[in-house]
Structure 1
Amino acid sequence: MFTQRVRPLVAVGFAVAALAFASPSMAIEPVAEPAPSYEDLIARLDALPSTLEAVAVYDAAAARAEQARALPNPSIAYDRENVYGTGPYSGVGNAETTLTINQPLELFGQRSARIQAARSEANVADLRREQARWLVAGRLALAYAQAEAGARRHDLATEALSLTEQDARGVAAMVEQGREAPLRDIQARSEVESARAAVDEAKALRDGAFARLSAIAMLDRPVQAIGASLLDRALGQPGAGDDDPLAVQVAEAELDTASRLVTVEQRRARPDVTAAVGMRRYRETDDEAFTVGIELTVPLFDRNRGGIRAAYAEQRAAEARLIAQKQAVQAERLGAEAALAASNSRTRAADSGVAAAEEAYRLSRIGFEAGRISQLELRSTRTALIASRNAAVDARIARVLAEIDLARLEGRAPFGESK
C-alpha cells in the first residue's frame, strides 16, 4: 500500500493525465494561426499553378481551333513578258504586263476535316483541364488531411509523454517506499526519454506536413494548425450518375481526335487547287485583258501513304487506350468503393477501441495507485491506449484516401457533391 505521502502524488498525476486525454486541445505549444478551411482552399483551385497550366493548354487548343477556320491567304504575282530581247522586243516597248491574284481553294473536304480535328483537340484539352482541376483538388485534400493527422499525432505524442512522466513519478515513489525494484525506476525513465523523442519526431513530421500544405495551397504564410477538421467529416454516398467517368471521357475524346486526324491525312493526299485571276496589259497597243487560270497538283509521287498509315496506327492506339481505361476505371471504382466502406468500418472499430483502451487505462491506473496493479501492467495498458489512438488517426487517413480516389473517378472535389 502507498503511504500518505505517496498517494496524493500518484492521484494528482492520474488527474492530470485524465484531464489531458479528456481535453486534447490542451497543448504545450502556443496556439498557432489555423489554415484556411478546406472549402476555402478548394475555392482557390483556379488560382493554383497546376490549374492555371491546364487552363493555358486549353486556351491554346481553343485558339488553334479558331485559327483552323481561317481561309488560306491569297498571293499576288506580277509578271512582265517580252522584254529585253531582240528585234522588236529589244526594250520594253512591246512588253506585256500581267498582275495576277492566286487563291488556294481547299476542296475535297480538306478545310472541314482540318476544322473538325482542331475542334476535337480542343475538346480533349477541355476535358483534361477539368481532370487536372480535380487532380489538384485531390492533392490539396490529401495535404490538408496529412497536416491535420500530423497535428493530431503530435498532440497524442505530447499526451503520451505526459502520461509516461506521471507514471514514472508514481513508479519512483513506489521504488522509494520499497514497493518496486530500482530496475523499474530505470525502465520508467527510459520510457520517458523514448516518449520525449517520439514528441520531437512527431513535431518534425507535423511541421513538414504543414509546409507541404502551405506550398500546395500557395498560402501567403506558413500555417501550423488546422481549423475545421477533414478527418472527422462524414462522407456521403458515392455518386451514381449515368455519365462516364472523366478518365473514360478523355480517352473517348482522344479516340475521336485520332479518327478525325485520319480524315485529315486522307484529305492531304488529294490535289491542291489554286485559282488565279489577273489583268494583262499590252504596252504596244495599250490594250488590257483579263486572265483566268487554275493550278492543280498531281499526286503522282507523294500520296501521303505514310501519313495515312501513321494516323491509322495512332487511331488503333487510342482505341486500345480507351478499352484499357474503361477496364481500369471500373476496377478502380470498385476498389475505391470497397476501400471507402472498409475504412468507415475501420474508423468505427478504431473509435470503439479507443474508448475501451481509455477505460482499461483508467482502471489500471486506479489499480496501480492502490498497489494491486504492477508497473508492467500499467505500461501495457498505456501502450495499448497510445496505439489505439494512433490507429484511429490511421483509419481516418485511409478513409480520406479512399474518398480522394473515388472523387477522382467521379470528376469532383473530395468531400464534394457528385456531378
Structure 2
Amino acid sequence: MSLSPPCRPPRAVGCAFAVLALAAGFPAWADPAPAFEQLLTQALTAPAAAEADANLAAAEGRLAQAGVRPNPELGLEVENILGRGPFQGVDGAETTLTVSQDLELWGRRGARVGVAQSEREAARWRRDASRLQVAAALAVAYAEAEAAQRRYALAEEALELAVADARAALILVEEGREPLLRGIQGESEAAAARAALDEARAERDAAFAELTALAGGQTPLTSVESSLLDRSPTASVGQAADVPAVLALVAERGAAQGRVRVETARGRPDVRASVGVRRFEAEDATALTAGVSLQLPLFDRNRGGVLAAEAEVRAAEARLRGARLDADADWRAAAARRDAAASRVVAADAAVTAATEAYRLTRIGFEAGRLSQLELRSTRSGLVQARDVAIAARLMRARAEAELARLEGRAPFGAQL
C-alpha cells in the first residue's frame, strides 16, 4: 500500500480510497458482558471462591469432630486355662470382660474444641477475604476490558481521521497546492493507524479473555455495555479497618493460644476408668470389676510441645502486628491514589475538550489552505493522545477503587457480596 515516487496524484487519491475501504467491515461483537454486579454474583461461584468455601466446610467438619469423645475400649481376658494340676483344661478358668474409657481430664476436650473453633473462624474470614479478592480482581478485569474496548474504538476513529486527512491532503496535491510528498505521508500515517488498530484489537481480545476466565463463564465475553469506568467510586469509610485478612490472623492467633492449652494438657497423665464382669468357672459364680489407670509422667511431660506452641503464639502475634501495619499503610496509599486518579479524570476530560476543538479548527484551516498538513497531523495526534489519557485516567481510578474497597472490606462500586 505504498506510493512510488513517480506515482501521479490521481493514483494517490485512489490509494487513499483503498485505505478507507480497509477501515470498513470490522466484525461486530457479540455476547456482551452483563453488569458488574451480575457478573460478580457469577464470579463468586468460580473455582477461586469455591475453594475458599470448601476450606470453610472442612474447618466446620474438624470442629464437629473435635467435640466427639474418644471411643470406649472393650477387653476380654481369660485366665487359669490349659495349665497343669487343677488348672488343666478350662474348668478353672476366670473370664473377665471389661469396658474402659479415657476420661479426658485436665480440660483436654475443651482445649481441642477451642482450637477447632478458632480455626473455623479463621477459615470463615479467609473465605470472606477470598470473596473480596475476587470482587477486586473482577472489577479491575472489567475495567481493563472496557478500557481495551474504548481504545479499540479510539483506534478505529484514529484510522478514520487519518484516512480523511490523507484524502484531504491528496486532493490538495491534485490541485497543486501541496507537494506529492504530503500525499505519501498521509498514506503512511493511515497505514500506521491500521497497525495500531490491529494491536488494539489484540489487546481487547486478551482483556476479554481474562474477564471471561475470572467470571468463570463458559461463553466468551466480547464486549461491555454497562460502563464501570464512568461510574463514580463509592465513598470511603475514611479510615483503615480490620479487613477479613487481618481478622483471619486474629483467629489464627487464638488457635495458636489454644494449642498451648492442648499441649499443656497432653503433658499431664492420661486417666482411664474401667468396669467389667468376671466369670469364675470353678465356683460357677460371677462378680463385677472396676478400676482406674493412670500414666506416670516420669519421662515425657510434653515440655517441648508446650515450648513450640508458645513460640507459635509469638509468631502469630508478630504476623498480626505486621499485617495491621501493612493494611494501614496500604489503605493510606490506596486512598491517595484514588483521590489523585479522580483529579486526573477531571483534568483529562478538560484536555479532551480542548483537543477536540483544536482539531476541528485546524481541520477547517487546513481545508482552507491556511494551515499545513504538519499542523493538522499534530492536532490529530494530540486529540488521539488526549482521549487515550482520559481512558487511562478512568482505568487508574477504577483500579484504585478496587484496591481501596478490598482494604476496607467491601465490594467495589457499591456492589454486594
TM-score after normalising by structure 2 = 0.92
Q: Secondary structure at the match of 1:47?
A: coil
Native 8 Å contact 1:175 1:185 kept in 2 = yes
Q: How far apart, in 1, do the equivalents of 2:179 and 2:233 lie? A: 52
Q: How far apart, in 1, do the equivalents of 2:191 and 2:125 lie? A: 54
Structure-to-structure mapping, 1:234-383, within 5 angstroms: 234-240=232-238, 244-383=242-381
Q: CA deviation at 1:240?
A: 4.5
Amino acid at match of 1:168: A
Amino acid at match of 1:67: Q
Q: CA deviation at 1:100?
A: 0.4
Mark the CA change 1:122 to 1:305 in structure 2 (over 3 Å): closer, same or farther: same
Q: What are structure 1's unaligned runs of at least 5 residues?
A: 1-5, 21-25
Structure-to-structure mapping, 1:152-301, within 5 angstroms: 152-240=150-238, 244-301=242-299
Q: Which of 58, 61, 77 lines up with 1:60 in the alignment?
A: 58
Q: Secondary structure at the match of 1:100?
A: strand
Q: How far apart, in 2, do the equivalents of 1:242 and 1:33 lie? A: 39
Q: Secondary structure at the match of 2:279?
A: strand
Q: Deviations over 1:230-255 (max 9, x none)?
A: 00001121024895222221221111
Q: Which of 141, 144, 148 lines up with 1:143 in the alignment?
A: 141
Q: How far apart, in 2, do the equivalents of 1:274 and 1:84 lie? A: 31
Amino acid at match of 1:35: A
**Counterpart for residue 87 of structure 1:** 85
Q: How far apart, in 1, do the equivalents of 2:238 and 2:350 lie? A: 31
Q: How far apart, in 1, do the equivalents of 2:290 and 2:115 lie? A: 33
Q: Deviations over 1:48-90 (max 9, x none)?
A: 1111110110000011001111011001000000111111001
Amino acid at match of 1:157: A
Amino acid at match of 1:131: A
Amino acid at match of 1:133: R
Structure-to-structure mapping, 1:91-130, within 5 angstroms: 91-130=89-128
Native 8 Å contact 1:246 1:409 kept in 2 = no
Native 8 Å contact 1:27 1:155 kept in 2 = no
Mark the CA change 1:109 to 1:137 in structure 2 (over 3 Å): closer, same or farther: same
Q: CA deviation at 1:32?
A: 2.4
Q: How far apart, in 2, do the equivalents of 1:71 and 1:143 lie? A: 49
Q: Which stretch shows the higher mean deviation, 290-299 or 383-392?
A: 290-299
Amino acid at match of 2:35: S
Q: Deviations over 1:252-286 (max 9, x none)?
A: 11111111111111111111111110111110011
Q: How far apart, in 1, do the equivalents of 2:241 and 2:400 lie? A: 21
Q: Secondary structure at the match of 1:99?
A: strand
Native 8 Å contact 2:98 2:274 kept in 1 = yes
Native 8 Å contact 2:331 2:404 kept in 1 = yes
Native 8 Å contact 2:242 2:324 kept in 1 = no
Amino acid at match of 1:109: G
Q: How far apart, in 2, do the equivalents of 1:89 and 1:323 lie? A: 73
Q: Deviations over 1:284-304 (max 9, x none)?
A: 011111111111112222221
Q: CA deviation at 1:218?
A: 1.9
Q: Secondary structure at the match of 2:44?
A: helix
Q: Considering only aligned residues, what root-mean-square deviation do their CA atoms show, in Å?
A: 2.1
Q: How far apart, in 2, do the equivalents of 1:83 and 1:244 lie? A: 71
Native 8 Å contact 1:343 1:399 kept in 2 = yes
Q: Deviations over 1:199-247 (max 9, x none)?
A: 0000011011111111211223112111100000011210248952222
Q: CA deviation at 1:44?
A: 2.2
Mark the CA change 1:239 to 1:60 in structure 2 (over 3 Å): closer, same or farther: same
Native 8 Å contact 2:148 2:200 kept in 1 = yes
Mark the CA change 1:27 to 1:345 in structure 2 (over 3 Å): closer, same or farther: farther
Q: Secondary structure at the match of 1:415?
A: helix
Q: How far apart, in 1, do the equivalents of 2:319 and 2:371 lie? A: 65
Native 8 Å contact 2:169 2:183 kept in 1 = yes
Q: Which stretch shows the higher mean deviation, 245-254 or 404-413?
A: 245-254
How much identity, in percent, do the aligned residues show?
Answer: 50
Q: How far apart, in 2, do the equivalents of 1:243 and 1:418 lie? A: 18
Q: How far apart, in 1, do the equivalents of 2:183 and 2:77 lie? A: 109
Q: Secondary structure at the match of 1:52?
A: helix
Hey, which bits of structure 1, 4+ residues long, moved more than 6 A?
Answer: none
Q: How far apart, in 1, do the equivalents of 2:235 and 2:64 lie? A: 41
Structure-to-structure mapping, 1:23-34, within 5 angstroms: 28-34=26-32
Native 8 Å contact 1:357 1:384 kept in 2 = yes
Q: Secondary structure at the match of 1:277?
A: strand
Aligned residues: 399
Q: Which stretch shows the higher mean deviation, 339-348 or 408-417?
A: 408-417
Q: How far apart, in 2, do the equivalents of 1:418 and 1:46 lie? A: 11
Q: How far apart, in 2, do the equivalents of 1:248 and 1:332 lie? A: 13
Native 8 Å contact 1:246 1:410 kept in 2 = no
Q: What are structure 2's unaligned runs of at least 5 residues?
A: 1-9
Native 8 Å contact 1:255 1:315 kept in 2 = yes
